[in-house]
Amino acid sequence: MSPKITTELLKQLRQVMKSPKYVQEPVQAYIVPSGDAHQSEYIAPCDCRRAFISGFDGSAGTAIVTEQHAAMWTDGRYFLQAAHQMDNNWTLMKMGLKDTPTQEDWLVSVLPEGSKVGVDPFIIPADQWKRMSKALRSAGHDLVPVKENLIDTIWTDCPQRPCKPLITLDLSYTGVSWRDKIVALRSKMAERKVLWFVVTALDEVAWLFNLRGSDVEYNPVFFAYAVIGMNTIRLFIDGDRMMDPAVREHLQLDSTLEPEFKIQVMPYGSILSELQAVGASLSPKEKVWLSDKASYALTEAIPKAYRYLTPYTPICIAKAVKNASETEGMRRAHIKDAVALCELFNWLEKEVPKGTVTEIIAADKAEEFRSQQKDFVELSFATISSTGPNGAIIHYKPVPETNRTLSVNEIYLLDSGAQYKDGTTDVTRTMHFGTPSAYEKECFTYVLKGHIAVSAAIFPNGTKGHLLDSFARSALWDCGLDYLHGTGHGVGSFLNVHEGPCGISYKTFADEPLEAGMIVSDEPGYYEDGSFGIRIENVVLVIPAETKYNFKNRGSLTFEPLTLVPIQTKMIDVNLLTQKECNWVNDYHQKCREVIGAELERQGRHDA
């Protein structure tokens, strides 16, 4: 992987930063955040502005370019990747390390007095704007919105915004109709005394209307906004997608409907002016509900006194608690996914010793097996297929320059998943096709102990996921090992593979309490730079637990693994497991055999 040469691009950007054609006054710094106008984690090619200007294409990172400097903030998952992808024009700012300055502190340290710092107001979330603007102002600088995105002005071959056809999901998949979701949303709005709710996150729009798209790779979403009033529904979406008869039927666009369920379809680009009109029409005490992560541009459209901002929207919270249809769909999807992986492992066992299987071939083969399963749509993220030292690059994606051949001498880590029409999967298995070293087995077993500690944990209703994070680390900590990422994230139901508002991380303190029906990943790991990576990941469902004393009727919760893919026993040092942990592994494998074995039989895939 050779770094992108950015000297010329940075020169051009620094020119437009001073050009009266684009900025009212010259800006001395320009911020290029990761996201799109919906604060998506995965973004369309046309929104990959930070990758375009810097070369670094990991999923998280913020670039800031000043007249003299160019700096990139990213987290522990991407330190190695960013260092490889960026040229010498860039300084890597390793977030989470003690001596790394925040973006604000760094700006204050490098900017000349009274500087202007520009940013696209559609890309920066309102909460970030507020924090940064305050910090800059207190140091005598100004954060200013630059209407035209300055990267777009120099990005001559920028791809078009995608506008792909939609998929409608019927009740058998979603469990609840979009009308009932609107009714539930309006009741939450009434509870909080707000008149309008603005849906800005793409997965929230998709979930609300029981529609899916493919505008963004891996995430079955489509570019749209929605504004829900107590008697109106406005959907902002482009293209001829609303001409599709299936979509018209699904949304009842041509039916005679009660007016409060009549959907007004409007152009995607008109959201700002429409929202400004809403803002201007409000009477005192009338409120508009937005996520505090909505863009600064949309947030500013509503006068401050009328805004009701929350970190998590009612849709985000409702979406996280899966209903019976969604849970059953997720179960089906995970069974199909396990069948595909069992086939893959069987194939790898046979092929790896021949020395012909590369990381890319293995990833492609995994996709091939998955794509044979019913209702397969696409992958849920770029497959992490990594062997040996590549395994230590936590969010590694094999490319021809780095592509290693799997061998009987190295650990192989596969973190992969798919979108099926009935559910989203995400599973990591770490394996060895020869004989693992004692040290590799030791580390693997600590990771497994952590995985089990979370998966088998029992905790009272109302517990937040971050309180479980240390369980995953305890066995590693005892020996002086740790990993620099969280332990789990929420998983969507045929939606984004990463979703809020719950998770299991030492970093997430704003997570909502875990509830029965929520689905998260459990994925501790251990990484030895330059040598190997280990991660064991299941997707698990929060379920009620039975305990002796039941928390004085407060109730208790635990997890049920939805992922049913065997864990390679060759990697386990059984002496390090307690009896309870041994039982967990045995019970898990028995369930895998029963459920996946039966499905393999049913599909006639006897070989695996």
* Structure-block tokens of residue 351: 């092929």
| Residue 440 sits in the site that holds its own copies (CB under 8 A) | no
Kindly state the smallest distance separating residue 285's Cβ from its own copies, in Å: 8
Nearest-angstrom CA–CA distance, 162 and 49:
15
| Residue 544 sits in the site that holds its own copies (CB under 8 A) | no
Nearest-angstrom CA–CA distance, 417 and 399:
18
Query: Within 10 A of 25 (CB to CB), how many other CB atoms are there?
Result: 11
Q: Which is nearer to its own copies, 304 or 354 (CB)?
A: 304
Kindly state the smallest distance separating residue 13's Cβ from its own copies, in Å: 31
Q: What are phi and psi of 122, to 5 degrees?
A: -80, -20
> Any idea which residue has 């160019």 for tokens?
70
| Residue 138 sits in the site that holds its own copies (CB under 8 A) | yes
> Any idea which residue has 């005892």 for tokens?
478
Which of 20, 156, 256, 548 touches its own copies (CB under 8 A)?
548
| Residue 98 sits in the site that holds its own copies (CB under 8 A) | yes
Instruction: Give residue 16's Cα distance to chain centre.
Output: 32
| Residue 470 sits in the site that holds its own copies (CB under 8 A) | yes
Q: Where are the beta strands (DSSP E) in 40-159?
A: 62-66, 70-74, 91-94, 116-119, 142-145
Which of 107, 199, 227, 468 touches its own copies (CB under 8 A)?
468
Kindly state the smallest distance separating residue 116's Cβ from its own copies, in Å: 19
| Residue 479 sits in the site that holds its own copies (CB under 8 A) | yes
Question: Interface with its own copies by CB under 8 A: which range of 81-89, 122-130, 471-479, 581-589?
Answer: 471-479
Total binding residues toward its own copies, as defined by CB under 8 A: 31
Kindly state the smallest distance separating residue 440's Cβ from its own copies, in Å: 13
Q: Which of residues 227-286 bind its own copies (CB under 8 A)?
A: none
Q: Which is nearer to its own copies, 134 or 374 (CB)?
A: 134
Nearest-angstrom CA–CA distance, 204 and 24:
35
Q: Which is nearer to its own copies, 252 or 470 (CB)?
A: 470
Kindly state the smallest distance separating residue 173's Cβ from its own copies, in Å: 32
Q: What are phi and psi of 65, to 5 degrees?
A: -115, 125
Q: Which is nearer to its own copies, 9 or 136 (CB)?
A: 136
Kindly state the smallest distance separating residue 506's Cβ from its own copies, in Å: 6
Which of 88, 100, 264, 474 touches its own copies (CB under 8 A)?
474
- Residue 378's H or E segment, with its range, is strand 376-379
Nearest-angstrom CA–CA distance, 227 and 293:
16
Which of 21, 509, 604, 606 touches its own copies (CB under 8 A)?
509
Q: Which is nearer to its own copies, 318 or 467 (CB)?
A: 467
In sequence order, which residues have a C-beta less than 8 Å from that of residue 539 and are 6 or more positions away? Answer: 330, 334, 425, 426, 427, 491, 519, 520, 521, 522, 561, 562, 563
Q: Are 297 and 145 in contact (CB under 8 A)?
A: yes
Q: Which of residues 303-322 bind its own copies (CB under 8 A)?
A: 305
Angle at which helix 579-602 crosses helix 324-351, to 10 degrees, equals: 90
Q: Are 478 and 196 in contact (CB under 8 A)?
A: no
> Nearest-CA neighbor of 55 among 110, 115, 4, 105?
4
Instruction: Say whether 423 sits in a helix, a strand or coil.
Output: strand
| Residue 506 sits in the site that holds its own copies (CB under 8 A) | yes
Q: Are 359 and 385 in contact (CB under 8 A)?
A: yes
Which of 471, 532, 559, 584 touches its own copies (CB under 8 A)?
471
Instruction: Give residue 156's Cα distance to chain centre.
Output: 29
Q: Which is nearer to its own copies, 480 or 604 (CB)?
A: 480
Kindly state the smallest distance separating residue 261's Cβ from its own copies, in Å: 32
Question: Interface with its own copies by CB under 8 A: which range of 15-23, 315-323, 478-486, 496-504?
Answer: 478-486
Q: Which is nearer to its own copies, 494 or 527 (CB)?
A: 527
| Residue 415 sits in the site that holds its own copies (CB under 8 A) | no
| Residue 457 sits in the site that holds its own copies (CB under 8 A) | yes
Which of 94, 279, 551, 603 touches its own copies (CB under 8 A)?
551
Q: Could you tell me what percentage of the chain is helix, strand and coil, using 3-state DSSP and rounding each to the nearest 5?
A: 40, 20, 40
Question: Interface with its own copies by CB under 8 A: which range of 235-243, 321-329, 333-341, 477-485?
Answer: 477-485
In sequence order, which residues have a C-beta less than 8 Å from that of residue 379 and are 6 or more positions away? Answer: 218, 367, 370, 416, 417, 418, 419
Query: Within 10 A of 244 (CB to CB), how many other CB atoms are there?
Result: 15
Q: Which is nearer to its own copies, 225 or 527 (CB)?
A: 527
Q: Are 382 and 393 in contact (CB under 8 A)?
A: no
> Nearest-CA neighbor of 448 among 572, 591, 580, 566?
572
> Nearest-CA neighbor of 63 among 2, 126, 122, 151?
151
Q: Which is nearer to its own copies, 106 or 381 (CB)?
A: 106
Q: Which is nearer to its own copies, 33 or 533 (CB)?
A: 533
Q: Which is nearer to its own copies, 245 or 284 (CB)?
A: 284
Q: H/E/C letters for each residue in 475-522? A: HHHHCCCCCCCCCEEECCCCCCCCEEEEEECCCCCCCCECCCCCEEEE
Q: Are 559 and 458 in contact (CB under 8 A)?
A: no
Kindly state the smallest distance separating residue 310's Cβ from its own copies, in Å: 13
Kindly state the smallest distance separating residue 557's Cβ from its own copies, in Å: 10
∠ at Cα 255 (250, 257), nearest 5°? 100
Q: Which is nearer to its own copies, 83 or 467 (CB)?
A: 467
Question: Interface with its own copies by CB under 8 A: which range of 215-223, 360-368, 394-402, 465-473?
Answer: 465-473
The answer, yes or no, to whether the previous bond of 501 is cis (omega within 30 of 0) is yes
Which of 467, 516, 576, 595 touches its own copies (CB under 8 A)?
467
Instruction: Say whether 93 sits in a helix, a strand or coil.
Output: strand
Kindly state the smallest distance separating residue 65's Cβ from its own copies, in Å: 26
Kindly state the smallest distance separating residue 109's Cβ from its own copies, in Å: 11
Kindly state the smallest distance separating residue 469's Cβ from its own copies, in Å: 7
The contact set with its own copies (CB under 8 A) reads 98, 138, 305, 457-460, 462, 467-471, 473-474, 477-482, 506, 509, 547-551, 554, 556, 578
